[in-house]
Structures are given as structure tokens and as C-alpha cells.
Amino acid sequence: MPTRPLRVLVDMNIQRAPDSRPFRDQLASLLPGHEVFALQDDFPEHAIEALATAHLRPGLARRLPALRLVQKLGAGVDTMVRDPDLAPGVRITRLRHDGQAQDMAEWALSHVLALHRDHAWYASLQAAREWSGRTARPAPLTTVAVLGLGEIGGRVARAFAAVGFRVIGWSRSSRAVEGVETRSGPAALDPLLGEADYVIAVLPSTAETSGLFGAARLAGMKDGATLLNMGRGDLVDEAALPEALDAGRPARAVLDVTRIEPLPPESPLWAHPAVTLTPHVSGRNTGDAMAATAENFRRLAEGLPLLDEVDRTRGY
């Protein structure tokens, strides 16, 4: 039993789990000797040292003067590192789970293969009761660019390489991915976009990546290409995207993330014929999130190195 119990708060703050008390009970069972509260409880704000949350609620950190660690119940931390109420000394950790990387690789594969093998076209022929076919371009002659080569991006790149596509990975600094050609640095990005048939963005939101796909960069993509974004919503200039799609560069966009979520009803992306939307579901499988959270909270209590700590200055 720890010599000084931690006081921990759980605030899921997600639409599908508005009540954090079931998660409180799960985490408490993994942290004997510590005190675990849900946001719905009467909890001691002045004494909370660790917070587990999927999305940091605006103003919550300001109410927790003793806060030392925020465990993100997910991977993306861009809004969290920019939260003005989070004191500079508060540490942030996030989940890294093989299941989430696999989920995201499957999401990307499913959409690319559906486009590559003309699923929508064959559905239209079926509706017209027409029996006709055409030959798909061989995968080795089809270039898939994966932007971002961390744990998730690396898994995505390897998954496409295993199917037989020509895969080129890109990252800000040099990274090696087994079986995949890689390029790095700003100078390598635009030439890559000009040759890729499918561009899959798995990048975090940082000062360098926000607005990365503006009008000029979209226009520089290969004619007929598809842009898939499962990184962060602010990577793509949504105001410029419809016009770019109308011009065929890119010819299609598949978006799992948007700048504002849920996507506002008035957004033209809902009705654009070249846009496919999914509601931020590409990486929902976060594995045993509470077990990983409990491990980091134990490490905090015992003064041990934390797992998957975020560099707040870099934003990831």
C-alpha cells in the first residue's frame, strides 16, 4: 500500500459516456489504497493530484490547484497541451495501445481498398441491374503516402506494404519503417504529394501541421488523388477543400476528423459528393485504458518514470 494515497479524479467527458462513475469504480479496483472520484461525486478539488479524461473540460484544471498529472484516455493531446488553465508544471501522458494502431490501419485500408476496387461504381451498376466490369490498377503501381511515422503511422504504412501497395512514409525528421521507403523534412513533402495516389495523414496538431493542407498544397496533389485524414482535424483547410475537390486535386477526401466536432450541420462537407465522413471512429479501440491509467498513477505516486509522457513544448 502506498505511504501517501493519491487523490484521483475521473472525467470521461465523451458523449457516449456522460457518467464517469462506472469508470471510477473500474479504476478504483486497480488502485487499492488510493482515493478515486468521479466528476459527479463531491470530490476535494484542492487535493486532486491526478486526472483521467478523454477530453480536458474547459476550466477544470483551474479548479485543481494540486494537479500533477493528466492522463489522456486516447492519443491526441493537441487541445490539452494548449489549455490555458493547465499549469506549466502539470505533466501529460497518453495512451499508446496496439489495438488502436490496428484499428486505424484497418480504417485506412478499408477506405483505400473500397476506392481502389471501385466499390461505389459496382454498387451503381448493381442498382442499374448492369453486369459489367473493369480491371483495377495493380497495387504495386499505386502509391500510398503515409504522413506521420509514429506508432500508428508506422503500423498503417506496414499494413499497406503487406497488401502490396507502393508505400512511401513521410515524417518531419528521419524515421525508419521496416519494408517501407521513407522520406523526411519539409522539402520532401510537396514532391511526394505530387506522386501519391492516396495520401493518409496521421499527423498530430502542432504549429507546423495546423493548416498543412491549405489551398496551395491541395492544388499540388496528384490529379485524381484521394486525401484521407485520421490525424487531427485542423490539418486540412476545410474552407479550401470543396473548391480543391471540384478541381480534382484531390479528387476525393475521406475524413475521420474535422476542425470542429461534431461537424456543424451547415458545413458544405456533409453534402459534397466527393467527401466521405466518419465521426472520429478510426481508433476507438484503446484497449484496457484503465489498466494503463492505473499503472501511470502508481508510477506517479512512487516517483517512477511515467509511460508515454507528452513533451508539452513539442505538443506530442
Question: What digits encode the pLDDT tens for the residues 15-29?
Answer: 777 899 999 999 999
pLDDT at 2: 47
Cα–Cα distance measured from residue 9 to residue 45, given in angstroms and rounded to the nearest whole number: 9
CB atoms within 10 A of CB 283: 24
pLDDT 10s digits, 39-73:
999 999 999 999 999 999 999 999 999 999 999 99
Contact 108, 115 (CB under 8 A): no
Burial zone of 38 (CB within 10 Å; 0-12 exposed, 13-18 middle, 19+ buried): buried
Among residues 75, 92, 98, 81, the alpha carbon closest in space to that of 230 is found at 75
Q: Is residue 3 pLDDT above 80, yes or no? A: no
Distance between CA 294 and CA 301 in Å, rounded?
11
167-225 tens-digit pLDDT: 999 999 999 999 999 999 999 999 999 999 999 999 999 999 999 999 999 999 999 99
Q: How far apart, in whole angstroms, are the C-alpha atoms of residue 314 and residue 233?
A: 18
Residue 232 a catalytic site member:
yes
Q: For residue 129, indicate whether it is catalytic.
A: no
Annotated catalytic residue, options 34, 232, 252, 259: 232
Span 133-139, mean pLDDT?
A: 96
Show the 3-state SS of the chain.
CCCCCCEEEEECCECCECCCHHHHHHHHHHCCCCEEEECCCCCCHHHCCEEEECCCCCCCHHHCCCCCEEEECCCCCHHHHCCCCCCCCCEEEECCCHHHHHHHHHHHHHHHHHHHCCHHHHHHHHHCCCCCCCCCCCHHHCEEEEECCCHHHHHHHHHHHHHCCEEEEEECCCCCECCEEEEECHHHHHHHHCCCCEEEECCCCCCCCCCCECHHHHHCCCCCCEEEECCCHHHECCCCHHHHHHCCCCCEEEECCCCCCCCCCCCCCCCCCCEEECCCCCCCCCCCHHHHHHHHHHHHHHCCCCCCECCCCCCC
- β-pair type (7-11, 198-201): unpaired
Mean pLDDT of 101-127: 97
- The percentage of residues in the chain with a pLDDT greater than 70, rounded to a whole number, is 98
Q: Please give the residue that has the higher pLDDT: either 1 or 155.
A: 155
pLDDT average, residue stretch 220-239: 97
pTM, rounded to two decimals: 0.86
Q: How confident is the model at residue 98 (pLDDT cuts 50, 70, 90)?
A: confident
Q: How far apart are CA 184 and CA 47, in angstroms?
A: 45
Sign of CA dihedral 55, 61, 64, 67: positive
- The pLDDT tens digits for 280-306 are 999 887 668 899 999 999 999 999 999
Four-residue CA torsion sign, 311, 280, 209, 105: positive
Cis peptide before 262 (omega within 30 of 0): yes
pLDDT > 90 fraction of the chain, expressed in percent and rounded: 89
User: What is residue 14's predicted lDDT score, i.e. its pLDDT?
Assistant: 85
What is the C-alpha to C-alpha distance for residues 252 and 245, in angstroms, rounded to an integer?
A: 6
Structural domains present in the chain: 7-97+286-302 (3.40.50.720), 100-277 (3.40.50.720)
pLDDT at residue number 1: 45
